[in-house]
């Protein structure tokens, strides 16, 4: 068993595009598929109109150059057709964007939803090792990358290549192969040069981003630790560190700008050389009587028309490449192994008395360091069992295994005789109500946070749960009552208030099994006794597991399990364990001498 989630390997740009394709051509959605087809037809129609515009322009110039009677009427018709073609090109382009918009947004939504669900389906091991900020940025950049890819690849690069092909075909059919070859060679050389120089200068851009992030990080860290800097008089030391990062950024920025100038100069030189060559060939044709003045204008217009989208080719290439990289990182999240997954055909847990049994359970987060080494105990239906022991003994691991955040390496955990690995995770977690030691609330109202225990519960049910948790009066004393916002992670409430809201939330869930993991650790002694008495009341008739460090909170348990080094070393009721004068008695004596503990 690995200690941390492994990074999926083997994904590249092509596999990323293959992963994206089903979202753009979703099975069972004929309406979206029709939109894709219509959008592509509009795309080709827009480019066909764009390519035909210079042809109309050529004919108008030729008509004007002839000077024959009635010439004014002919160019007028061609000019109107010229304007109509330009309008059609714009209309088809806008229709393409409008029709395809739903396809693109559906793809972004579907990908985001699937990743969100997959992340919630991953084991606790992944979430303990993750970097939340980096994870959020990967999803944000990945979904944005889909939009970038669709905008630039489908609606810029592919249409531009289609237009290049059409232009070369028109030049070859209207003139000769050499003119088409010169145009194609110019565009090919331009693209190749742009790709090569863009790849070369990418390292300078990367250095700019890295040094910018480094300088920003040092500045923020220094300002956040303002008092520490002052304590040691290290203002100049911090300034030197910041200036060193800025200096590296300065060098990278200069190189990036110089390389950009080289790119622009080369692009301009290639286009100018190609344009000069094509115009010379057209001029030669005019001198020989093979081409008209309109032909000269046509080839010049075509090359200038192609130059406009190609001038952004380097930028677009970088954006597409970055978009694919961002999407790779996002789709790698979908490649993460769930680790804990329902077995095929798994049934829902059938709860009757809710008897819980740990049967020779062995487990380690890392196979090199076992945590539980064969733990066995039973919680009879409706009884309360407490697990105590020193830090690192494996108490919280028992809670995580019962809630099936992990599966045991060996042995079995059963509820009413059903192995948790054989039933669905959702049904197991629906049967267990947890009040954790570290209570985290959503940045919403108190009503929402209590109601989270059972979405859809009425206000009366929420208030009843709050009364059972002895928090109703406290809430009503607040200016906004149950509408009070608790702040991010519940920071506007005290530790005790948060804990009581968490208890109310679990009571509202009305589970068959209660799991209290240091549930009163944040409360003062008086409030703790009130809550303990209340918890005993609400847990009557329910199987209850209490994970505790403060032994006074478990003295009334039907059985106390003492863990040490991953093994059950003592078990019995409070008075029995004290009479043995063993490990539990020693822990009790130490806590009596240290009331703060």
Structure tokens at 194: 């742009």
Indicate if the pLDDT at residue 7 is higher than 50.
no
- Report pLDDT for 523: 63
| Start-to-end Cα distance in the chain | 35
**Choice among 208-212, 229-233, 380-384, 465-469 with the minimum mean pLDDT:** 208-212
What sign results for the dihedral spanned by CA atoms 450, 451, 454, 459? positive
- Report pLDDT for 353: 83
Q: Cα-flanking dihedrals φ and ψ of residue 418, to 5°?
A: -105, 120
- CA separation for the pair 389, 586 (Å, rounded): 11
DSSP assignment letter at 403? T
Choose among 96, 100, 99, 102: nearest CA to 45. 96
Q: What is the pLDDT of residues 51-80, one digit of tens each?
A: 888 888 887 777 776 655 544 455 677 778
**Rounded to 5°, angle at Cα 560 from 555 and 566:** 135
Which CATH superfamily groups domain 356-593? P-loop containing nucleotide triphosphate hydrolases (3.40.50.300)
- Report pLDDT for 8: 46
The answer to whether 502 touches 436, Cβ cutoff 8 Å, is yes
Choose among 578, 581, 583: nearest CA to 568. 583
Q: What is the pLDDT of residues 344-375, one digit of tens each?
A: 888 988 888 889 999 999 998 877 888 898 89
Helix or strand (DSSP H, E) at 312: none
Q: What is the pLDDT of residues 92-131, one digit of tens each?
A: 888 988 888 888 888 888 888 887 777 776 766 666 555 5
Indicate if the pLDDT at residue 455 is higher than 60.
yes
Question: Across residues 184-197, what is the average pLDDT?
Answer: 87
- CA separation for the pair 254, 258 (Å, rounded): 6
User: What is the number of H-type helices and E-type strands within the chain?
Assistant: 20, 10
Of 130-139, 287-296, 309-318, 566-575, the range with the highest mean pLDDT is 566-575
- CA separation for the pair 508, 466 (Å, rounded): 9
Whole-model pTM: value is 0.63
Burial of 499 (C-beta count, 10 Å sphere; 0-12/13-18/19+): buried
The answer to whether 402 touches 482, Cβ cutoff 8 Å, is no
Question: Across residues 287-300, what is the average pLDDT?
Answer: 81
Q: Provide the CA 130 distance to its chain's centre, in angstroms.
A: 12
- CA separation for the pair 200, 62 (Å, rounded): 46
- Report pLDDT for 71: 45
- Report pLDDT for 356: 92
- CA separation for the pair 71, 73 (Å, rounded): 5
**Can you list the positions of beta strands (E) in 322-409?**
356-363, 372-379, 384-388
Number of residues that make up the chain: 597
Pairwise pLDDT comparison (518 vs 444), residue with the higher score? 444
Q: What is the DSSP string of 25-67?
A: S-TT-HHHHHHHHHHHHHHHHHHHHHHHHHHHHHHHHHHHHH-
Mean pLDDT in the chain? 81
At the topology level, CATH places domain 1-174+318-341 in: ABC transporter transmembrane region fold (1.20.1560)
């Amino acid at each position: 068993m690995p200690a941390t989630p492994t990074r999926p390997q083997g994904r590249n740009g092509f596999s990323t595009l293959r992963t994206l394709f089903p979202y753009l051509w979703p099975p069972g959605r004929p309406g979206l598929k029709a939109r894709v087809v219509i959008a592509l037809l509009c795309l080709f129609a827009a480019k066909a109109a764009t390519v035909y515009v210079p042809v109309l322009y050529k004919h108008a110039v030729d008509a004007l150059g002839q000077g024959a009677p009635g010439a004014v009427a002919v160019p007028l018709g061609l000019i109107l057709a010229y304007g109509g073609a330009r309008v059609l090109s714009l209309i088809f382009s806008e229709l393409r964007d409008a029709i395809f918009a739903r396809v693109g947004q559906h793809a972004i939504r579907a990908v985001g939803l699937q990743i969100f669900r997959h992340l919630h389906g991953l084991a606790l091991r992944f979430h303990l090792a993750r970097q939340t900020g980096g994870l959020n940025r990967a999803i944000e950049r990945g979904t944005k990358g889909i939009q970038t890819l669709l905008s630039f690849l489908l609606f810029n690069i592919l249409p531009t290549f289609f237009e290049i092909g059409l232009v070369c075909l028109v030049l070859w059919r209207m003139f000769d192969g050499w003119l088409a070859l010169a145009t194609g060679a110019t565009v090919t050389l331009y693209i190749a040069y742009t790709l090569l120089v863009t790849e070369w200068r990418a390292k300078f851009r990367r250095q700019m981003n890295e040094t910018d992030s480094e300088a920003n990080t040092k500045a923020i860290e220094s300002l956040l630790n303002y008092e520490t800097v002052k304590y040691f008089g290290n203002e100049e030391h911090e300034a030197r560190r910041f200036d060193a990062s800025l200096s590296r950024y300065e060098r990278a920025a200069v190189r990036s700008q110089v390389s950009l100038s080289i790119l622009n100069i080369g692009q301009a030189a290639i286009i100018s050389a190609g344009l000069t060559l094509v115009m010379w060939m057209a001029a030669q044709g005019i001198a020989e009587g093979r081409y008209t003045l309109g032909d000269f204008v046509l080839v010049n217009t075509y090359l200038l028309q192609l130059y406009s989208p190609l001038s952004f080719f380097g930028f677009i290439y970088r954006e597409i490449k970055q978009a694919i990289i961002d999407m790779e990182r996002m789709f790698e999240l979908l490649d993460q192994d769930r680790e804990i997954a329902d077995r095929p055909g798994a049934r829902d847990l059938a709860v009757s008395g809710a008897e819980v049994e740990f049967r020779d359970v062995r487990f380690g987060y890392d196979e090199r360091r076992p945590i539980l080494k064969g733990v066995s105990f039973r919680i009879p239906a409706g009884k309360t069992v407490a697990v105590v022991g020193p830090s690192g003994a494996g108490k919280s691991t028992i809670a995580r295994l019962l809630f099936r955040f992990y599966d045991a390496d060996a042995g079995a955990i059963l509820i009413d005789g059903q192995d948790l690995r054989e039933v669905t995770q959702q049904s197991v977690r629906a049967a267990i109500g947890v009040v954790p030691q570290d209570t985290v609330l959503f940045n919403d109202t108190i009503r929402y946070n209590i109601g989270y225990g059972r979405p859809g519960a009425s206000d009366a049910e929420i208030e009843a749960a709050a009364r059972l948790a002895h928090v109703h009066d406290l809430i009503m004393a607040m200016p906004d009552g149950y509408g009070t916002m608790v702040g991010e992670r519940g920071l506007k409430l005290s530790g005790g208030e948060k804990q009581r809201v968490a208890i109310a939330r679990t009571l509202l869930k009305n589970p068959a099994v209660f799991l209290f993991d240091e549930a009163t650790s944040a409360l003062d002694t008086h409030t703790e006794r009130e809550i303990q008495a209340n918890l005993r009341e609400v847990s009557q008739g329910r199987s209850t597991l209490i994970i505790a460090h403060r032994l006074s909170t478990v003295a009334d348990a039907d059985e106390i399990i003492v863990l040490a080094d991953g093994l059950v070393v003592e078990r019995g009721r409070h008075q029995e364990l004290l009479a043995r004068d063993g490990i539990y008695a020693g822990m009790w004596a130490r806590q009596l001498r240290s009331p703060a503990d």
